């Protein structure tokens, strides 16, 4: 059911990326998403970065409209929807690419207790696109990569994962599809949970837009176990 919430805080976390905190604390699992409606502008899905936070990259008219909003303004939400990550494994890697960070940020914060050692491997095109927020506080090890070498190691997060995969019981990944495919190949589809993305409209398993083979990302996902994705990603 749609609910109006008030923005209590918004701040820039990277170039063209803002965080929005609202006045409603949701019960959620990292990986779950919200549908956010801005009357007149549309309705889009956003992964929760926390019980009351979404982190949004400006990519089009909807997000531009959202970026105009500040404290005291309203947005309308429904959700959380989808399944979310299952916290599993002791030594784990979180592999994030670009604006794939929010669900992994949430996992680092919320799932942290279940893990013994968390390595975040986070890649972006360049330094100013890294939306780190305070994630360093919630992981044991942070490895940055950038495509252009402007921060951390030059290259992709999957380069790092390929070298160190033997260390991890479980890998959690979210980011652009080429990165997700690379993660799956590196892990040979085992010991990995992937938060996938498809064009989502209804968010509740009706319209079928977000199908990924026989799955719906909104209902069967957005988090998939590696083996589910064989032949699909």
Partner 1 sequence: MASLEVELFGIRFENPLILASGINDKVPEQWIRAHEEGAGGVVTKSIGIEPRKGYDNPTIVELPYGLINAMGLPNPGWRGFLEMVDGYTFDFPLIVSIFGGTPEEFAFLAEKLSEVADAFELNLSCPHAKGYGMEIGQKTENVYEVVKAVKDATDKPVIAKLTPNTDDITKLGLAAEKAGADAVSAINTLKAIAIDIYARRPILSNRVGGYSGPGVKPVALRAVYDLARTLDIPVIGIGGITTWQDAVEFLLAGASALQIGTALSLRGWKVFREISEGIERYLEGEGFSSVEEIVGLALEK
- Residues that constitute the known binding site for [2Fe-2S] cluster: 202, 207, 210, 218
The footprint of partner 1 on residues 112-171 (CB under 8 A) is: none
CB of 223 to partner 1, least distance (A): 16
Cβ contact 18:55 at 8 Å: yes
Residue 1 binds partner 1 (CB under 8 A): yes
Can you give the chain as a three-state secondary structure string?
CCEEEEEEEEEEEECCEEEEEECCCCCCCCCCEEEEEECCCEEEEEEEEECCEEEEECCCHHHHHHHCCCCCCEEEEEEEECCCCCCCCCEEEEEEEHHHHHHHHHHHHHCHHHCCEEEEEEEECCHHHCCCCCHHHHCCEEEEEECCCCCCEECCHHHHHHHHHHHCCEEEEECCHHHHHHHHHHHCCCCEEEECCCCCCCCCCCCCCCEECCEECCCCCCEEEHHHHCCCC
Of the residues 78, 153, 164, 198, which one makes contact with partner 1 according to CB under 8 A: 78
Cβ contact 103:49 at 8 Å: yes
Closest CB to partner 1 among residues 79, 89:
79
Closest CB to partner 1 among residues 113, 231:
231
CB of 35 to partner 1, least distance (A): 8
Closest CB to partner 1 among residues 42, 176:
42
The footprint of partner 1 on this chain (CB under 8 A) covers a number of residues equal to: 27
Closest CB to partner 1 among residues 164, 219:
219
5: Cα within 13 Å, side-chain hemisphere: 25
Of the residues 11, 64, 74, 167, which one makes contact with partner 1 according to CB under 8 A: 74
CB of 211 to partner 1, least distance (A): 5
Of the residues 7, 26, 42, 164, which one makes contact with partner 1 according to CB under 8 A: 42
Q: Which stretch binds partner 1 (CB under 8 A): 34-42, 125-133, 161-169, 183-191?
A: 34-42
Residue 213 binds partner 1 (CB under 8 A): yes
CB of 220 to partner 1, least distance (A): 9
Binding site for partner 1 (CB under 8 A): 1-2, 4, 35, 37, 39-40, 42-44, 74, 76, 78, 201-209, 211, 213-214, 216, 219
């Amino acid at each position: 059911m749609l609910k109006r919430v008030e923005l209590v805080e918004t701040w820039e976390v990277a170039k063209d990326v803002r965080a929005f905190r609202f006045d409603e604390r949701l019960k959620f699992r990292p990986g779950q998403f919200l549908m956010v409606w801005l009357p007149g502008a549309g309705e889009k899905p956003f992964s929760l970065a926390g019980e009351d936070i979404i982190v949004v990259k400006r990519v089009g008219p909807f997000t531009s409209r959202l970026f105009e909003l500040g404290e005291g303004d309203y947005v309308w939400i429904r959700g959380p929807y989808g399944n979310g990550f299952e916290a599993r494994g002791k030594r784990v890697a979180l592999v994030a690419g670009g604006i794939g960070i929010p669900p992994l940020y949430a996992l680092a914060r919320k799932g942290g207790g279940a893990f013994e050692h968390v390595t975040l491997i986070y890649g972006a095109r360049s330094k100013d696109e890294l939306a780190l927020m305070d994630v360093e506080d919630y992981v044991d090890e942070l490895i940055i990569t950038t495509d252009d070498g402007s921060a951390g190691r030059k290259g992709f997060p999957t380069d790092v994962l390929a070298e160190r995969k033997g260390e991890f019981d479980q890998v959690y990944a979210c980011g652009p599809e080429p990165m997700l495919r690379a993660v799956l190949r590196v892990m040979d589809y085992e010991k990995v949970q992937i938060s996938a993305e498809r064009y989502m409209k209804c968010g509740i398993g009706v319209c079928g837009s977000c199908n990924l083979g026989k799955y719906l990302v909104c209902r069967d996902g957005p988090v998939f176990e590696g083996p589910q994705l064989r032949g699909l990603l």
